[in-house]
Structure 1
């Protein structure tokens, strides 16, 4: 069951389609949980994608600022909500003019699949 505004969806696929074709920003559905701190680095993990049948995203601590990480996670979340699970283990992609990001399929502490997004060494 998923909730958005005053609408209640009992089918996560229906909710996912409704979000993908609406003007709801991804942060209505997906939250970022922050970890780490400067200067050692700031990272984040999403919460909310699993309710839509998608893996959560994990961005390990880097030297990037919170706004950059937040934007990257929301952009990837919005893409997954619209297109479905289309990021394969080992894929590399770029968001805008940012450095390429590598995708690694991994498991969280509970055994659920997570997409680890790591900055690529390829420039």
Structure 2
């Protein structure tokens, strides 16, 4: 997996053996110059997701769920916002602290949306995949 935010890099990755692209909320720091990821909106994610999908039509793309796109009303808000990411090019959605958001993740998976859960930064950074 590699994190990508734009069309030219996505096009290069699409021609490689890399299997997954993450359009991550880290774009807040890397592209937008913010001091963290909290400022990244769903609209920011959609903009970059669309660019990456155009550049990498044959690569599996994971769209990051930005801060407060699933925390307030875990079930309905999570399903709605994950669906928007899927409609705009994601093959799967990802969010942080999956162990704290199990009800929301289960609701999204039940709605037919694949979820990749990031359990948080640790010394051995790990991810969990949730499937139907």
Bigger Cα Rg: 1
Normalising by structure 2, we get a TM-score of 0.31
Q: In proportion to residue count, which structure has more strand?
A: 1
- TM-score w.r.t. the length of structure 1 is 0.33
